[in-house]
Amino acid sequence: MMKMSISLSSHICLFTLLCSSLLVIAVGTDAQFSWHGSRANALFIFGDSIFDAGTNDFINTTTDFQANFFPYGKSFLSYPTGRFSNGRLIPDFIAEFAGLPLILPYLHPEFRFNGGANFASGGGGALVETYEGLVVNLKTQMTQFKKLEKQLKREFGDEEARKIVLEAVYLISSGGNDYLFSTSANSVVFQSHSHEEYVGMVIGNVTTVVKDIHSRGGQKFGFVNMGPLGCVPHTRALAGSSGACFGELNELLKLHNRALPKALEKLADELDGFKYSIFDHFNAGMQRINNPSKFGFKEGKQACCGSGPYRGRSSCGGKNGETEYELCADPSEYVFFDSGHPPERANQQYAELMWRGSARVTGPYNLEKLFKRT
């Protein structure tokens, strides 16, 4: 374990465009990867920080919602890419399994379609009000997808663009920030809404986007249910010496995870050709938190990077004005890289479960089946 003392401003990637240009070179532009619809299904990614591949590098926000500085990315390309991890994220592995290159953020200044687009934004929620003005919410991500659809028509023609949208898989991770926001100390949302009503609002916004994508031809969707956010290092740290999970937050997450399958079953009855996959992120995460050695980890509750109890203070890399933070020697030994996000190794395990997991973990379809064209 290393103790770091450093100011955030001294190591934010001052050459963000240079670093992101290097990423383009590393993963290939469409000049190097000519898109042919017969080669692989496209992948479109919506959501929050567990899917954000660098969107927040290119919006007007604060460093609280960015990860474009050391030690983020320390195990991937040797420089920060804006991913909230030491390395690759779940969608990066899904793209690899599907035979696609790394999918760039849609807002990347050198973005060109090479088999997909990533619209996810760290801190983004299904509700517009969640961290409004600092992140890209799900509704706005959908607006960006519509713009891209028009670009595809101009570049490939109407028929090929229609085929891309039809055969693509749409990954969605949305809602976690809405629940974190609603249970923050200054939130008054539950003075006017019950927990059930709030969950209904979140899922309603998600299903509205799903219906919009379907109306444009999309049929295959992959969802991540709410992970155990009440038991991440950040929320444990809030509990003080007890280190207990945040009960109210976890109850909200469980309500969401019971309601989401019902909402998707209803959509399957209503929408022609609609197929979906739900990954049980909550239970997969809790298993690793409670029994880390069973999955090849040494530590399940404390973060690799941060400060305070469980390294749960959001200080990794100097966030929130913190001048000191601790950094472990090997992120792959930890279930959490920072106060709320997994390291590359856990992301790979989750992606493998999403890709070919049984119906008990990922159902009714897994992503491997959704990517097949039958």
**Known catalytic residue at 341:** yes
User: Radius of gyration of the chain from Cα atoms?
Assistant: 20
Beta carbons of 231 and 245 less than 8 angstroms apart = yes
Please confirm whether the linkage preceding 364 is cis (ω < 30° from 0). Answer: yes
Q: Is the dihedral of CA 265, 42, 84, 345 positive or negative?
A: positive
In angstroms, rounded to a whole number, what is the distance separating the alpha carbons of residues 269 and 94? 27
- Out of 49, 85, 277, 314, the active site residue is 49
Instruction: Write phi, then psi, for 203 (nearest 5 degrees).
Output: -65, -35
Pairing between strand 324-327 and 2-5?
antiparallel
**Known catalytic residue at 64:** no
| DSSP letter for each residue of 122-151 | TT--SSTTTTTTTS--HHHHHHHHHHHHHH
- Out of 281, 332, 338, 339, the active site residue is 338
**Known catalytic residue at 57:** no
In angstroms, rounded to a whole number, what is the distance separating the alpha carbons of residues 300 and 326? 16
For residue 306, give the nearest of 345, 284, 276, 334 by alpha carbon.
334
Nearest-10 crossing angle of helices 247-270, 281-290? 150
Pairing between strand 169-173 and 324-327?
unpaired
For residue 163, give the nearest of 226, 218, 227, 233 by alpha carbon.
218
DSSP state of 303: E
Active-site residue list = 49, 338, 341
